[in-house]
């Protein structure tokens, strides 16, 4: 018995020494004397539906899988968004940009099995590129080859620790999209999948799985799930990161997610000191900050420069294909949309709707995104100026007015349109109200059409609206938002005639695009197959400028991110650039 114990110990020691650790940088571990141990307490909005990222579309599952439980081949630095090695310790790109060879780190699953190229190929084959998997990413790994035919990226195992990606053509966002691919263990999952029914991947590792069955390659592994109450994770002894002093990460022994459905209750629990870190709603910020300033609270709150996809920046759109012929010819005129931007009182919206916690100059890309943001858009934003707006509308020939003071079309019809808004979040309605108020001053009647969000989504999706207020999240790389901002795509909903919906998949219709839309379309296509970051930035810079010059949509503002920290957390807070500093593997309890 004793001998067996020593054998196990020796094997374990070998594994631990063989691991090629990655060293976490100073940005995330500024404190030279962290304490090891203890429990990190976080909040979760509902019981995760699955432990398999690709089998679910549930956001609670996403938040426990991404970061705490699973690792990727390459990862984005949590503060700077730079791509850095993760499970792949290094890679080489061939000179034509079409082959990327990854060397995998000597690292282990939480049950001690080595992580190999087989796991990578398996993850891509059965999950990422499996069209029956609910959370697949086929779109992101399918790109046109030189002939313009869409083809999938291929993955080939060279040996246990080497894997090669063969791209149909160079693909600029390759590493960014790869940083979202969480690698799963082949040796645990392959036996659970029915290979004749690829939809079966959606039914493995669901919420009724014994957490101890789950094998991970991230900092923590699950040990206990109590339905609708708590999810407990424990340190993964095989995690492959160390801090810059040689301590094994993570610092905490355990992570406990309290499952709390109601947002008010989450805030209450945070105030009571039962939750260490969470995102705070902007409406709670003034109250929490005021309490914090009394010095008696167990927490601190910070408003940071937005650097996350959510909260989504709100925009106003005008349907270029609207049924009403008068409105159609009006909406498509640039002067009209310019007048609309002059009539948009961004500052008032930020002050009154967002309690000052929003930035006006966020369009397609956030100012905090050093890799892609084009600061020129700040000069392109048209400031609130009703006089200019009035002049532009007069120039369009809308000079006649009726008895109530509303402008008339030359044919005598009143200039009025419906503005479609969903009923929640409430900010959307508030923006609509302020905008409609200003348009009334210009002599344009706006009828607010406030409806349930699912219905509104359907109406936008069918192009069944006149004007609307909507929001889509930002992403670190514009390539990942191609499905929204490139003309001729499913979410380019304000000009659906640029897309042929009868074909599957839908095809762009170039002849229906305006000149500047054609240019945007081309720029997206060019940036996609460009590997040189500087050239990609130039393409995306132009897209950003075109969006602000020609106003396919008018961006309103983007809410700031607000974070609450328990005061006892170390390595957590803001960096010198006011960016969020927090990860589950580098924070500790002081």
545 contacts 376 by C-beta, under 8 angstroms:
yes
Nearest 5°: CA angle at 567, between 578 and 231?
Answer: 100
Question: Quick one: residue 516, left, alpha or beta (phi over 0 = left, psi -120 to 50 = alpha)?
Answer: alpha
Minimum distance, C-beta of residue 546 to another protein, in the bound complex (Å): 20
Query: Taking the complex as a whole, how short is the minimal distance between the CB of residue 211 and another protein, in angstroms?
Result: 11
Q: Could you tell me the smallest distance in angstroms from the CB atom of residue 138 to another protein?
A: 7
Nearer of residues 90 and 490 to another protein, judged by Cβ: 490
With beta carbons less than 8 A apart as the criterion, state whether 168 and 148 touch: no
In the complex, least distance from residue 268 CB atom to another protein, rounded to whole angstroms? 6
| Residue 68 in tokens | 């705490």
Q: Least distance in Å: CB of 432 to another protein? A: 18
Sequence length of the chain is 590
Residue 44: cis peptide before it, omega within 30 degrees of 0: no
The gap between the terminal CA atoms of the chain, to the nearest Å, is 40
Residue closer to another protein (CB basis): 45 or 436: 45
DSSP 8-state class, residue 267:
H
CA 551/CA 175 separation, integer angstroms: 30
Positions touching another protein (CB under 8 A) are 41, 46, 49-50, 55-58, 131-132, 134-139, 199, 202-203, 206-208, 224, 226-230, 232, 256, 258-262, 264-265, 268-269, 271-274, 452, 454-455, 457-458, 461, 472, 480-481, 483-484, 490-491, 504-506
CB of 320 to another protein, least distance (A): 19
Name which of 143 and 249 has its Cβ closer to another protein.
143
For 543, the 3-state DSSP assignment is helix
Cα(170)–Cα(214) distance, rounded to whole angstroms?
36
Q: 459 or 574, CB closer to another protein? A: 459
* Residue carrying the six token digits 């010059």: 549
Which C-beta is closer to another protein: that of 7 or that of 138? 138
Min dist. Cβ of residue 86 to another protein (A) = 21
Q: How far is the CB of 452 from another protein (least distance, A)?
A: 6
Residue 495 buriedness (CB in 10 A; 0-12 / 13-18 / 19+): buried
541: tokens are 């810079």
Q: To the nearest whole angstrom, how small is the minimum distance from the Cβ of residue 478 to another protein?
A: 12
Taking the least distance from each CB to another protein, the nearer of 347 and 424 is 424
- 156 or 268: CB nearest another protein: 268
H or E stretch covering 61: helix 59-65
**Do the bridges between strand 588-589 and strand 150-152 make them parallel or antiparallel, or are there none, so unpaired?**
unpaired
- CA dihedral angle for residue 178, residue 532, residue 510, residue 313, rounded to 10 degrees: 60
218/86 Cα distance (integer angstroms): 10
Closer residue to another protein (CB): 117 or 260: 260
Q: Is 225 or 392 the residue whose CB approaches another protein more closely?
A: 225
How far apart, in whole angstroms, are the C-alpha atoms of residue 98 and residue 93? Answer: 7
Nearest distance from C-beta of residue 16 to another protein, angstroms: 30
Collapse the DSSP code of 144 into the 3-class scheme (helix H, G, I; strand E, B; otherwise coil) and give the result: strand
**From the CB of residue 250, how many other CB atoms can be counted at a distance below 10 Å?**
27
Q: Closer to another protein by CB, 224 or 247: give it.
A: 224
């Amino acid at each position: 018995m004793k001998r067996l114990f020593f054998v196990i110990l020796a094997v374990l020691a070998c594994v631990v020494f063989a691991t090629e650790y990655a060293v976490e940088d100073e940005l995330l571990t500024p404190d030279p004397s962290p304490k090891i141990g203890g429990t990190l307490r976080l909040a979760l909005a509902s019981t995760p539906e699955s432990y398999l990222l690709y089998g679910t579309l549930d956001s609670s599952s996403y938040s426990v899988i991404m970061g705490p439980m699973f690792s990727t081949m390459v990862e984005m630095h949590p503060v700077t968004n730079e791509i850095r090695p993760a499970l792949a310790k290094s890679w080489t790109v061939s000179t034509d940009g079409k082959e990327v060879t990854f060397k995998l780190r000597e690292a282990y699953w939480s049950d001690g099995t080595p992580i190999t190229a087989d796991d990578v190929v398996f993850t891509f084959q059965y999950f990422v590129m499996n069209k029956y998997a609910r959370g697949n990413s086929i779109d992101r790994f399918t790109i046109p080859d030189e002939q313009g035919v869409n083809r999938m990226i291929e993955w080939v195992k060279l040996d246990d620790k080497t894997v090669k990606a063969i791209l149909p053509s160079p693909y600029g966002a390759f590493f960014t999209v790869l940083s979202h691919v969480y690698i799963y263990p082949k040796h645990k999952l392959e036996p659970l999948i029915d290979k004749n029914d690829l939809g079966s991947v959606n039914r493995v590792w669901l919420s009724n799985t014994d957490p101890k069955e789950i094998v991970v390659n991230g900092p923590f592994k699950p040990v206990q799930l109590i339905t609708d109450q708590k999810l407990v994770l424990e340190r993964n002894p095989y995690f492959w990161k160390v801090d810059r002093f040689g301590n094994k990460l993570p610092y905490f022994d355990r992570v406990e997610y309290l499952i709390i459905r109601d947002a008010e209750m989450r805030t209450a629990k945070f105030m009571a000191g039962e939750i260490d870190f969470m995102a705070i709603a902007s409406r709670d910020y003034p109250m929490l900050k005021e309490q914090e300033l009394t010095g008696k609270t167990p927490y601190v709150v910070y408003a940071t420069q937005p650097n996350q996809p959510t909260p989504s920046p709100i925009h106003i759109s005008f349907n270029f294909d609207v049924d009403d012929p008068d409105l159609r010819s009006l909406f498509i005129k640039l002067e009209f949309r310019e007048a609309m931007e002059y009539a948009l009182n961004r500052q008032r919206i930020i002050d009154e709707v967002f309690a000052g916690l929003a930035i006006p100059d966020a369009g397609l890309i956030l100012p905090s995104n050093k890799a892609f943001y084009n600061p020129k858009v700040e000069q392109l934003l048209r400031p609130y100026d009703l006089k200019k707006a009035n002049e532009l509308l007069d120039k369009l020939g809308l000079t006649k007015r009726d008895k109530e003071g509303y402008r008339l079309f030359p044919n005598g019809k009143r200039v009025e349109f419906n503005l479609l808004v969903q009923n929640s979040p409430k900010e959307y309605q508030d923006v609509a109200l302020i905008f409609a108020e200003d348009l009334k001053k210009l002599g344009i009647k706006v009828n607010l059409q406030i409806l349930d969000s699912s219905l509104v989504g359907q109406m936008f999706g069918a192009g069944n609206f006149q004007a609307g207020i909507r929001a889509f999240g930002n992403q670190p790389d514009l390539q990942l938002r191609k499905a929204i901002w490139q003309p001729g795509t499913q979410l380019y909903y304000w000009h659906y005639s640029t897309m042929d919906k009868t074909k599957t998949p839908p095809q762009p219709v170039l002849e229906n695009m305006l000149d500047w839309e054609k240019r945007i379309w081309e720029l997206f296509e060019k940036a996609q197959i460009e590997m040189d970051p500087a050239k990609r930035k130039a393409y995306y810079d132009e897209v950003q400028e075109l969006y602000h010059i020609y106003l396919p949509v008018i961006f309103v503002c983007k809410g700031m991110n607000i974070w609450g920290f328990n005061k006892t957390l170390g390595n957590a807070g803001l960096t010198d650039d006011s960016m969020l500093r927090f990860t589950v593997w580098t924070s500790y309890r002081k």
